[in-house]
Amino acid sequence: MNRWLALTLFIVVAFVASAVGALTTTASVTTWYPTIAKPTWNPPNWVFAPVWSMLYLFMAIAVWRVWLRRTESAAGSTIVLWFAQLFLNVVWSLLFFGAHNPGAALVEIVLFWGLLFALQLRLMRLDGLAALLWAPYLGWVTFATWLNFTIWRLN
């Protein structure tokens, strides 16, 4: 497969996952989310779309760089884990915004974060640039985990 076609496919897959999550999130951001208690340090709603757009692009480029090394022993399983984390990413949106269940979302995001951390370690061994591209995602989900915990506790 052409390397640029592969990059395009990874980007498309990442943004399809983003769109699925957004379908769940969009309605709740204007209905349910404003009604729940949030910490004072909760970012304004307009911050989330540009941050997530950047993160989805970075995660797609990171996995593509792993795909370029697909002959290495850890590459195949790392790509599988990338798809698993993408699934967990969507599930979090479904639990938090779709089901309006910060408690269930908190349990899920802790597992999700653990997978992202494991992927960060794998990427550091496989490709330094991929690991650098992944780090903001891990950082943002770390922040999101704390925010999720705080919202759960407040509500």
How far is the C-alpha of 144 from the C-alpha of 140, rounded, in Å?
Answer: 6
> Does pTM top 0.85 for this prediction?
yes
Spans in the chain with pLDDT lower than 70: none
At 1 the pLDDT is: 72
Q: Which domains does the chain have, with CATH numbers?
A: 3-154 (1.20.1260.100)
User: How confident is the model over 98-130, as pLDDT tens digits?
Assistant: 999 999 999 999 999 999 999 999 999 999 999
Q: Cβ contacts of residue 142 below 8 Å, gap of 6+?
A: 113
